[in-house]
Amino acid sequence: MNVVVLGLFSGTQQGIDGAIYLMVGHGIVSGALFFCIGVLYDRYHSRLVKYYSGLTLVMPLFSVLFFVFTLANMGFPGTSNFVGELLIFIGLIQKNVVIMALSTTGVVLSAVYSIFLFSRTCLGQLKVKNIANFIDINIAEAKTLITLCAYAIFFGIVSSSVIDIANSSDLISL
């Protein structure tokens, strides 16, 4: 969300459009990631990362969807967060290249943490002995996560949808 603030304070049309777009994308992706944490808590009754490892062996569908949301959280091309971050950085380049260069360090650190989190929870050997008794996500959870995944990818591909709505408003005038 610090990138959103940078986009708003850039004072450029691209920066503000990117901030609006990133807020929409962040709402989808962070909501999905929190939902994923809730799914894990329902099954294993713990939120501590150190207890998780090897979830791909027992929860393959969950792991695929969690990976997509991890990529979207990093701002991977083709996802909604990428479009917002790209517009914000284009707006920042127009105002101050040094601030843009410094702000990319936060994006890089966020990507490193996201990769670490996914590899720590989903890859490797199973840590808990009775984890194999649990099942993958159920139908209701799958519908929710697949819908959020579709939105994150749709807004990453059809980027004009949110930007046109934001620019059609009389509330934003630069």
Q: What is the rounded CA–CA span in Å between residue 95 and residue 78? A: 26
Q: Give the N- to C-terminal CA distance of the chain in Å, as an integer.
A: 22
> At 60, which amino acid appears?
P
> At 119, which amino acid appears?
S
CA-only gyration radius of the chain, Å: 18
Q: What is the DSSP letter of 158?
A: -
Structure confidence at residue 133 (pLDDT)? 67
Cα 30 from chain centroid? 6
Residue stretches of the chain with pLDDT short of 70? 127-134, 166, 169-174
Structure confidence at residue 151 (pLDDT)? 94
User: What are the helix (H) ranges across 11-79?
Assistant: 13-44, 55-58, 60-74
Structure confidence at residue 142 (pLDDT)? 95
Q: Report residue 11 as tokens.
A: 């004072």
Which of 25, 140, 7, 119 lies closest to 66, judged by CA?
A: 119
Structure confidence at residue 66 (pLDDT)? 96
Q: Report residue 2 as tokens.
A: 């610090």
Structure confidence at residue 11 (pLDDT)? 86
